[in-house]
Amino acid sequence: MATNLTYGSTIATDPLRTFRFFAEFSVPGENSGQAASGTLGKAITTGWTGGFTSVSGLGINTQNIQYREGGYNTTVHQIPGMTTFNPVTFSRGVIAGNDQAMKWMRGLFAAQAGGGLSTSAGNSFRVNVTIYVQNHPNSGATYADDNSVMGFKLHNAWITNLNYTDLDATSGAILFETMTLVHEGLSAFFTNANGTPSDSTLNSANI
């Protein structure tokens, strides 16, 4: 029996296809949305929001442990072991004044030198990072009217690597900044019509 199938995507069926996204960095304990106007001081004192060209490394891996049961010689049992989270790399063009990554790295230098970080002042080199994937722009809509459709959250992340592209005056390339973060947890969620996570547990300030 013949079946009519329609292939392809539209704005209505595939709102994530353009991969418009931004990342919000917030100190654990802050609610999302408090990071837009913050800056980085000695370490992370308040949050900040940034746009990036690419974000890579969003993944989870759980180790499998094999063991054999006595008297059960046909198969090997598989049980879950340690779970690891891939380092996540953020890339963006260098813009004058966007020195958050460098200041973040300086904060780690202070901790490594033995000076530590003043927890009483709220300073910490760990942050939660929420990556919002925006909806495809509708006809006549502005960016201010857009809502996120999906998001990812990195828990207890901190910067471990910072790189800049080579300086070459003979090329017309853009200077790029690449920072790599390690973290202790990855969440993925979809949002409802007003752009907030449809899973209410992601609204908690403690994750």
State percent of the chain over pLDDT 70.
Answer: 64
Q: Rounded to whole angstroms, how far apart are CA atoms 146 and 38?
A: 22
Looking at the domain assignment, is residue 180 inside a domain?
yes
| Cα–Cα nearest to 27, from 9, 13, 48, 12 | 48
Most confident of 58-67, 143-152, 195-204: 58-67
- Looking at per-residue pLDDT, the higher value among 31 and 60 belongs to 60
Indicate the number of domains in the chain.
Answer: 1
Looking at the domain assignment, is residue 206 inside a domain?
no
Looking at the domain assignment, is residue 7 inside a domain?
no
Range of the structural domain that residue 151 is part of: 20-199
Residue 200 CB contacts under 8 Å (≥ 6 apart), including other chains: none
Query: How many CB atoms sit inside 10 A of residue 157's CB?
Result: 23
Q: What is the pLDDT, as a whole number, of residue 134?
A: 83
- pTM (whole model) above 0.95: no
Looking at the domain assignment, is residue 193 inside a domain?
yes
Confidence bin at 16 (pLDDT 50/70/90): low
Confidence bin at 155 (pLDDT 50/70/90): very high
Q: Give, for 169, the enclosing helix (H) or strand (E).
A: none
Looking at the domain assignment, is residue 63 inside a domain?
yes
Quote the Cα angle for 55-116-204, to 5°: 50
pLDDT tens digits, 45-60: 457 888 899 999 999 9
Looking at the domain assignment, is residue 133 inside a domain?
yes
Looking at the domain assignment, is residue 3 inside a domain?
no
Q: What is the pLDDT, as a whole number, of residue 54?
A: 93
Mean pLDDT of 128-144: 71
Q: What is the pLDDT, as a whole number, of residue 112?
A: 64
Least confidently predicted of 6-15, 104-113, 125-134, 168-177: 6-15
Looking at the domain assignment, is residue 101 inside a domain?
yes
pLDDT tens digits, 103-114: 888 877 766 665
CATH number at residue 174: 2.30.110
